[in-house]
Every structure is written in structure tokens, then in C-alpha cells.
Structure 1
């Protein structure tokens, strides 16, 4: 079962409603169109309302999804103290890229393809999530220097133009309890330090020596 090509009969549905041609096709095939339409109408905005902006401002993590020009996807996690995600206005979210990111997977994708998806989840209090989809660009530190607050770890910014914002239902979100954020920096155990937690480097070195 594959989605049809866009035609005169399907294009109005694509224009009227958020979402992809594929999801609209499956909604029809699986008879969920009425439920989906209610969700689009009741919950999907093209900006952040005040409650959404407040939610973003107190998050300490965000899951970021990007894809390159060929559609190859990557997802990553960005973390910081509450307030590290900045709502500049109802249509603009800015988050920092900190020193230490050498691979540049997300930023490289954004250079090729500006579409980005953000998911923020409150695991501890409200057990609710917020999706923010939009177009991203990379900005120099100087463009939002005041947002860094003197944090020397901030090297640049990702600026997201909000195109969709909507709730992520709490049904299957687990409740988590914050604990002390200890780090085993004073050890030579690479697994405890986290750098080679999954043993990839160690296995490759072992294979090379054998």
C-alpha cells in the first residue's frame, strides 16, 4: 500500500490540512480521517501560544530530528539548564550549540535541508510533550549574544522558524524522577566516562590487533 501521486482530487486535502500526503492517505485507508481532522483543527498551530512558550522555556532537553538533502535522517538530544531553549517570539525558537560537538551531524543536515522537528517532553510533572516543526538555520554567536548570558560553552545558535506546534499525548509517557547529575570524570574506565559506552572503539582495536 503506497500513497498516490498528488492529483486534482487529492491536492485540496493537502492544502487544507497539516501533515503529509502519506498520512492523509493512511487516514483514509484506516478510516481515521475524522479523528485526524479533529486533531488538526483543535490542536495544531502555526505558532507557539503563551502556554507552549512557557513549556518550552522550562524544558531541560529536546529531541531534534533532521535529514540531509537525500532524506537520510538523524535524531539527537540537546540538553541544558531550564531556559536554554529560547522563545524569541511566537514564531521563533533558538537553541545553543555547545563547544565539543565535532561531528556536526545535525548542523550539516540543516545546511542541506532546513526542515527540522523538535520534541520536548515533561517526564517529571505534567507528563506531556510538545512537537515543534519548522525550518532551521545556523546563526553566529553574535546574533543572539545576550541569550548566552556569558556562557562560554555556547559557540553558535540554531534558529527555528515555527511552522507547526502541537501536543504530544501523555498516554504512554513514563514518569521519571530527577537525580543528582554525577559524572565519573576522574576515572580511566571509558565505559563509566561514557565516551566508549557501547564498546565500539574497544572492539575495533581488538579486531585490528588480532
Structure 2
């Protein structure tokens, strides 16, 4: 069923009329810096999502992950995020050059609450910074420096509804094809031979193993 355009909400006043007023705590929870709870949360988080958008481009959200505490807190207004090896599309980094406004979402396995941090970013290749962000003896090519403008905790409802950390809600990965098969399907190049598909999957796993850092 396609939603009918005449029911689109295009005015914020009409939007807010659909909902109860914002709770005082929700309105007041946004800080312009990282308090001790935000810093503690960041030190425990092994996974973040980073949202960026360049002018005249689609918005983009990209995952980042490493051992807990991989995002370094320099002070109450500054974060360092290492850029580890990936697919070299460089979507987030290119967007930051064009538009420094960035949003981060921090997740901790087992925690239903999340931390949201918004601010302005720049990219650095400062050798001292990269050395501090090294992993397994390998330096990142660059790092994101985020100046914090907003930081606030987000309630548990979304993660509880999704049962994200509930072992009984885990899905069988074999219910869908492998990443390599799906990417090749998109190009119309997925091999029909199961052995060839398995070989490609093995090659991807080997790349994961040897180029994580």
C-alpha cells in the first residue's frame, strides 16, 4: 500500500500536534559537552554509527567498530575516531570535507540505552594522533576529530522493542545468502556453481582475517 501524498506532514506545527508535549527531562537532557556519564558510556562502547551528509548528496550512515573505548575522549568537547581499513568508498570522510556536521550513535552490547553525540568534524593525519590510535601495531591512515555540540542519552524503548541483545531473538544467518553472493547478484554476476560461491566466500573471510587493521 502506497501512502497517499495528501496525508504527508510537511509542517512542524502539525507534526507536534500529533504528539503529547516533550517531557521536561527529555527536553533538558541535551548537554553541550560530555559529562562523566557520557564519557563512561563512550569508554564502554565497541560500536558506533556515524551519520554524515554532504551538500547535494544523500545522507549516509556508516558503522564503526573496534574494542570497547576505541573512540578516544580528549576532553569534554573533543572526540577522536580512528578510520580503520574498509571498502575505500570513503563516503563518511568525503562528506565531512564537504559538510562537517556529524551525528554519532554509541551502542554497548547488553545495554538498551544508547548515547547520541552531535557536532562538527574534521579529518586529521597528525602522526601523534594516529600513533595513539594504533591497533595491533598498525596506524590508521587518518582519524576523525569531533567537536561536541550536543550529547544526550536515549531511552531503552527502541532496543527493547527490537530485542536486539536477546539471544532468543537472534536470527539464523544462513536464512539469507552470503554478502559476496548478494553483492554479485546486484551486478548480475553471481556464479551458479555452489563451489565457486563457496570459494568467493572463503576469499572474503580471508580478507577479513588479514586486513582488519
- Is the structural similarity TM-score above 0.5? yes
Secondary structure of the 1:127 match is: coil
Residue correspondence of structure 1 range 55-204 to structure 2 within 5 A: 55-70=41-56, 72-124=58-110, 126-149=111-134, 151-173=137-159, 174-176=163-165, 194=179, 196-200=180-184, 203-204=187-188
| Aligned: 1:26 with 2:11 | no
Cα deviation 1:115-173 (Å, max 9, x = unaligned): 1110012231x321000011111011415134224641511100111111111111231
Pairwise CA distance, 1:30:
2.6
Structure 1 residue ranges (4+ consecutive) displaced by more than 6 angstroms after TM superposition:
none
The verdict on how the C-alpha distance between 1:86 and 1:197 changes in structure 2, with shifts beyond 3 A counting, is farther
Partner residue of 2:34?
Answer: 48
Per-residue CA shift, 1:41-99, capped at 9, x if unaligned?
A: 1x110111011101101111101111111252011100001121111111111110013
More strand by share: 1
User: Offset at 1:39?
Assistant: 1.4
Instruction: Give unpaired runs (5+ residues) of structure 1.
Output: 4-21, 179-190
The alpha-carbon distance between structure 1 residues 147 and 101, as it changes in their structure 2 partners (threshold 3 A), is farther
Query: Which of 93-102 and 73-82 deviates more?
Result: 93-102
**SS in structure 2 of the partner of residue 111 of structure 1:** helix
* Alpha-carbon offset, residue 25 of structure 1: 6.4
Q: How many residue pairs were aligned?
A: 170
Cα gap change, 1:61 to 1:197, in 2 (>3 Å): farther
Q: 1:38 to 1:62 in 2, by over 3 A?
A: same
TM-score by length of 2: 0.70
Matches of 1:148 and 1:99 in 2, distance apart? 13
Residue 139 of structure 1 contacts residue 157 of structure 1 at CA under 8 Å; is this kept in 2?
Answer: yes
Secondary structure of 2:62 counterpart: strand
Give the TM-score of the pair, scaled to structure 1.
0.71
Say which structure is richer in helix. 2
Using a 3 Å threshold, how does the CA distance of structure 1 residues 70 and 143 change in structure 2: closer, same or farther? farther
Contact persistence 2:108–2:114 (CA under 8 A): yes
Unaligned regions of 5+ residues in structure 2, if any? 1-8, 168-176, 192-213
